[in-house]
Amino acid sequence: MTGGEVLGSNQLDETHDPSRRSWIASANVSGADFPIQNLPLGVFRQGGRLGEPRIGVAVGDFILDLRGIAARIEEEIEGASQFLAAPSLIPLMNQEPRVWSAVRKLIFRFLEAGSPSRHVCEPHLVPMRAAEMLMPVRPGGFIDFFASIQHATNAGRLFRPASPLLPNYKYVPIGYNGRTSTIRCSGAEIFRPNGQRKPAGQDQPDFGPSSQLDFEMELGIFLSGHTQIGQPVPIAGAWSHIFGFCLLNDWSARDIQAWEYQPLGPFLGKTFATSISPWIITADALRPFRVPAFARAAGDPTPLPYLFNAADQDAGSVDVKIEVWFRSESMSADSRPSRRIGAASTRELYWTPAQLIAHQTSNGCNIEAGDLYGSGTVSGETEHSLGSFLEITFAGKKPVAICDGVTRTFLEDGDEVTLKGRCRRSGFVSIGFGNCSGVIVPGPSM
């Protein structure tokens, strides 16, 4: 697949046709996260710890167990009985993008209203409430970027009011390596980390529970297709390495981070936990929601040639509206609903996914199937489009009122943070990402 083909947003097919419906009623409900135009991939199990991990596709309120129908898919797609029966998505990710598309189209055909293959699938539908979602893959590498210029500006302003953006920002897709062992699926409890902090006015640091625990609302990108060390991925071919997308909450302890991060960057302020939504929204499903790259301001530099591609500028960004919802323990106890505290679109990111890939591999670093990127906190320009408490509360200086009797500067024990994501475009069925949730629990006693 060449870059041009991949980058074009005109490659829509029957799986994007808004008139198509499923024989599964819950998939046809207006506003459902998982209509048949979505068909995200994940790994689930039933029966608790002893249940075996299986690959599934989300459709309405059900999971279609792909292992159960792998032999049927093998009749049309060679190798499917192997790569769809695996306990992880890695073997599928290691196929060519045309294989991912072929699997998608076949499942679409099976699930479409009137499909003669309905009887093949029905025995392999698992109600979502009866399944536990697992990590879709264990990423070999996790890189967190800093792609929202608005977030970079907001965060920088707290430290350098006169010149919030550093000189490299508009040239370099800034990123750093994260910790993979603590990436957890939505629903996992988040332990409040202990760490060293040195509050202003204190001579010496001390050690204790973070008092500035924060969330970061991000888009996750799962990569695929091994490359060789020493062989950069040109930007024109980068989309063929994107398997799909998820939501990602890069939990952050701002007090630990502030004291530790010079000169080598964030470490323990981040490594205690990262949460992701369990369903990978495929690059194919996102095709209708591709949009032009962020419009750089007059006077901004043109990206260097290795980061510039006309097709990427035309349709290389994605328009995912991400929202962050908050509920405190007391709100839960009173059965009060979560409150939305921020919303922004990934179309406002300064760098496209292809630019991130071209940059990350530009030094010869390889890609492995399952590698995960975080976009960095997605923030927009208004006070309601901020993706972290750091920004919403000006680093804790200005508490925010969530609802009656509940204000916050940072997260307290029992607080639940939920990210939701959705793509909408006139003339298409909107698709959702499912939830990425976590509840803060106290860390171990010291």
- Cβ 376 to a second copy shortest distance, Å: 9
Is 124 catalytic? The answer is no
Q: Which of 136, 178, 237, 374 binds a second copy (CB under 8 A)?
A: 178
Tell which residue, 183, 148, 178, has the closest CA to residue 165: 148
End-to-end CA distance of the chain: 55
The rounded distance, in Å, linking the Cα atoms of 36 and 31 is 12
Q: Which of 161, 201, 299, 305 binds a second copy (CB under 8 A)?
A: 305
Interaction between residue 263 and a second copy (CB under 8 A): yes
Reported as type and span, the H/E element at residue 369 is none
- Residue 97: exposed, middle, or buried by beta-carbon count in 10 A (0-12, 13-18, 19+)? buried
Contacts (CB under 8 A) with a second copy, residues 155-174: 156, 166, 168, 171-172, 174
Q: How far is the CA of 114 from the CAs of 17, 23, 102, in angstroms?
A: 16, 7, 20
Q: Which of 2, 10, 30, 262 binds a second copy (CB under 8 A)?
A: 262
Contacts (CB under 8 A) with a second copy, residues 105-144: 140-141, 143
Q: Which of 151, 226, 241, 359 is catalytic?
A: 151
Interaction between residue 182 and a second copy (CB under 8 A): yes
Cβ-contact 77, 99 below 8 angstroms: yes
Reported as type and span, the H/E element at residue 416 is strand 416-423
The rounded distance, in Å, linking the Cα atoms of 73 and 18 is 25
Choices 11-19, 20-28, 107-115, 263-271; region in contact with a second copy by CB under 8 A: 263-271
Interaction between residue 177 and a second copy (CB under 8 A): yes
Residue 127 phi/psi, 5° resolution? Answer: -60, 135
Q: Which of 82, 231, 382, 407 binds a second copy (CB under 8 A)?
A: 231
- Cβ 39 to a second copy shortest distance, Å: 29
Task: Determine the distance from the C-alpha atom of residue 185 to the mean position of all C-alpha atoms in its chain, rounded to a whole number.
Answer: 11
Residue 15 phi/psi, 5° resolution? Answer: -70, -10
Q: Which is nearer to a second copy, 259 or 394 (CB)?
A: 259
Tell which residue, 412, 401, 386, has the closest CA to residue 158: 386
Total interface residues for a second copy by CB under 8 A: 66
- Cβ 195 to a second copy shortest distance, Å: 5
Interaction between residue 414 and a second copy (CB under 8 A): no
Interaction between residue 301 and a second copy (CB under 8 A): yes
Interaction between residue 261 and a second copy (CB under 8 A): yes
Interaction between residue 153 and a second copy (CB under 8 A): no
Reported as type and span, the H/E element at residue 105 is helix 97-111
Interaction between residue 11 and a second copy (CB under 8 A): no
The rounded distance, in Å, linking the Cα atoms of 45 and 52 is 6
Maximum C-alpha span of the chain = 74
- Cβ 86 to a second copy shortest distance, Å: 18
Interaction between residue 259 and a second copy (CB under 8 A): yes
Residues composing the chain: 446
Q: Which of 86, 291, 365, 400 binds a second copy (CB under 8 A)?
A: 365
Q: How far is the CA of 39 from the CAs of 105, 137, 182, 215, 309, in angstroms?
A: 10, 17, 27, 28, 29
As beta bridge partners, residue 206 has 197
- Cβ 334 to a second copy shortest distance, Å: 28
Q: Which is nearer to a second copy, 114 or 301 (CB)?
A: 301
Q: Which of 46, 115, 362, 435 binds a second copy (CB under 8 A)?
A: 362
The rounded distance, in Å, linking the Cα atoms of 91 and 41 is 13
Binding site for a second copy (CB under 8 A): 140-141, 143, 146, 156, 166, 168, 171-172, 174-182, 184, 191, 193-196, 198, 204-207, 229-232, 253, 256, 259-269, 271-273, 301, 304-306, 359-360, 362-368, 371, 443-444, 446
Which residues are known catalytic residues? 151
